């Protein structure tokens, strides 16, 4: 990464302050005043709207293979997603992904 | 000094909070590993966990820093991931809105997924005074927050000794994917995730992270449209 030490610290500080402002927003500043229903509705979908767009390219074209599709990594990604949908729990899904990834790497002689 | 009921509310909070240590610990460790992998120092990795104290956004920020996005885009993406906390903040108003400012300031700092969910679950089922609710919230966070920071350090210390064939590059995608599955509670969430993925893949060539923002905006609008559509049908 090309971030300098100072830039990394600045980023940490800004993300921290920004996150705090979000957390403080209603409880601290807005109080009991009502907010538009459409805003609350949009907010409901933020995590699920951001993460897939971020992760899909990482899973399909990983840096580790120079951006080529890696069957092992794609399989591990699908296993992670499937276990997450099934068990509804982050740790189960991480476990499934890790096991699939290492089994795949071992079977294809990469480990 | 705390009154007897405030003290028992605090300890009840600790009881409800401590199982989450088993989620926060490994997750924090992974963040430590990923952050060091990305080129952050141990102090910077821990700085993230102390100052930001929000898992998904910390991973997102580090990933975009690796991609050499601008600071503005790193900030925008990380905060977009954390926007759900505005909802948490709004949802706590009926329970803690009349607490003193310093208490609301503390709760805001410690308002993350687990503390929010455990507390609201309690507030909705057990009648409590506002001070009791405050101490319960602090109790829930008491075991989780220090675990988050400490295990970031553990991950940072262990991470550098792990060789590349162990594919730690994929720890971050797996963690994100693992977070998506449990979020797919309704058809609207599934539709939003699908649109996010498709638009994200199509726009991957756009400069550092701007495709992500367009994809997120499309996905949020999709979620709202599908939600109102399914509501009309039922």
Are the beta carbons of B34 and B27 closer than 8 angstroms?
A: no
ipTM, 2 dp = 0.83
Mutate to test the interface with B, among A2, A81, A82, A90 (most CBs of B within 10 A): A90
Domain assignment present for A109:
yes
How much is the pTM? 0.78
Residue B175 belongs to some domain of the structure: no
Domain boundary among B120, B136, B165: B165
In a domain, B83, yes or no: yes
Q: Is residue B171 assigned to a domain?
A: no
A37 contacts chain B (CB < 8 A):
no
Out of A23, A53, A93, closest to residue B216 by CB: A53
* Among candidate residues B110, B135, B165, the one where a domain is terminated: B165
Check residue B123 and report its DSSP letter: H
B 182-221: CB under 8 A from A? 182-184, 188-189, 192-197, 199-201, 204, 211-212, 215-221
Residues B80-98 have a mean pLDDT of 86
pLDDT class for A5, splitting at 50, 70, 90? very high
Sequence-distant (≥ 6) Cβ neighbours of residue B233 within 8 angstroms = none
* Residue ranges of B 86-105 with Cβ closer than 8 A to chain A: 86-90, 92-94, 96-97, 101, 104-105
pLDDT in tens, A30-55: 666 676 788 778 877 887 888 899 88
Residues B16-31 pLDDT 10s? 888 888 878 888 998 9
Identify the domain containing residue B27 by its residue range. Answer: 4-165
| Domain with A83 in it | 53-111
The predicted-structure confidence for B177-197, as pLDDT tens digits, reads as follows: 988 998 898 999 999 999 999
Q: Tell me, what's the pLDDT at B208? A: 59
Are the beta carbons of B114 and B140 closer than 8 angstroms?
A: yes
Whether B154 and B204 share a structural domain = no
Q: Kindly list the distances between the CA atom of residue B36 and the CA atoms of A60, A64, B19, B59, B157, in Å, as whole numbers in the listed order.
A: 23, 16, 27, 12, 8
Burial class (CB in 10 A: 0-12, 13-18, 19+), B60: buried
Same domain assignment for residues B128 and B37: yes
Specify if A72 maps to a domain.
yes
Full DSSP string of A52-75: HHHHHHHHHS-GGGTT---HHHHH
- When divided into structural domains, chain A yields a total of 1
User: What is the number of structural domains in chain B?
Assistant: 2
Q: Do A91 and B22 touch (CB under 8 A)?
A: yes
For A63-89, write each residue's pLDDT tens digit: 778 889 999 999 999 999 999 999 988
- B170 in any annotated domain: no
Q: Choose among B82, B180, B215: nearest Cβ to A19.
A: B82
Same-domain check for residues B25 and B99? yes
Average per-residue pLDDT in chain B?
Answer: 90
Same structural domain for residues B66 and B105?
Answer: yes
Condensed to tens digits (0 to 9), the pLDDT of residues B124-140 reads 889 999 999 999 999 99
A67 touches chain B (CB under 8 A): no
CB A43, CB A61: distance < 8 Å:
no
């Amino acid at each position: 990464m090309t971030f300098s030490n100072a830039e990394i610290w600045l980023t940490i500080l800004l993300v921290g302050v920004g996150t705090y402002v979000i957390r403080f927003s209603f409880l601290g500043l807005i109080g009991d005043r009502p907010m538009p229903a459409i805003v609350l509705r949009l907010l409901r979908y933020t995590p699920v709207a951001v993460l897939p767009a971020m992760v899909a390219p990482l899973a399909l074209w990983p840096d580790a293979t120079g951006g080529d599709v890696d069957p092992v990594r794609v399989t591990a990604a699908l296993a992670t997603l499937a276990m997450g949908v099934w068990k509804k729990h982050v740790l189960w899904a991480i476990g499934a992904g890790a096991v699939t990834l290492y089994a795949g790497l071992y079977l294809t002689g990469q480990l | 000094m705390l009154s007897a009921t405030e003290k028992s509310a605090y300890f009840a909070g600790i009881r409800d909070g401590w199982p989450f240590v088993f989620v926060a610990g490994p997750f924090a460790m992974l963040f430590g590993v990923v952050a060091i992998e990305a080129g952050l120092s141990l102090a910077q990795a821990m700085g993230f966990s102390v100052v930001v104290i929000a898992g998904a956004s910390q991973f997102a920020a580090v990933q975009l820093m690796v991609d050499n996005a601008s600071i503005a885009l790193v900030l925008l993406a990380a905060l977009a991931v954390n926007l759900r906390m505005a909802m948490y903040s709004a949802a706590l108003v009926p329970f803690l809105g009349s607490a003193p400012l310093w208490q609301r300031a503390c709760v805001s700092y410690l308002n993350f997924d687990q503390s929010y969910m455990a507390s609201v679950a309690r507030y909705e089922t057990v009648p409590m005074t506002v001070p009791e609710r405050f101490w319960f919230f602090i109790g829930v966070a008491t075991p989780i927050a220090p675990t988050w920071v400490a295990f970031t350090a553990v991950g940072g210390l262990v991470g550098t000794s792990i060789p590349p064939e162990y594919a730690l590059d994929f720890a971050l995608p797996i963690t994100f994917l693992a977070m998506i599955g449990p979020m797919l509670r309704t058809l609207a969430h599934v539709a939003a995730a699908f649109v996010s993925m498709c638009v994200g893949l199509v726009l991957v060539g756009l400069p550092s992270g701007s495709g992500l923002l367009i994809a997120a905006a499309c996905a949020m609008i999709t979620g709202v449209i599908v939600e109102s559509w399914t509501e009309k049908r039922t």
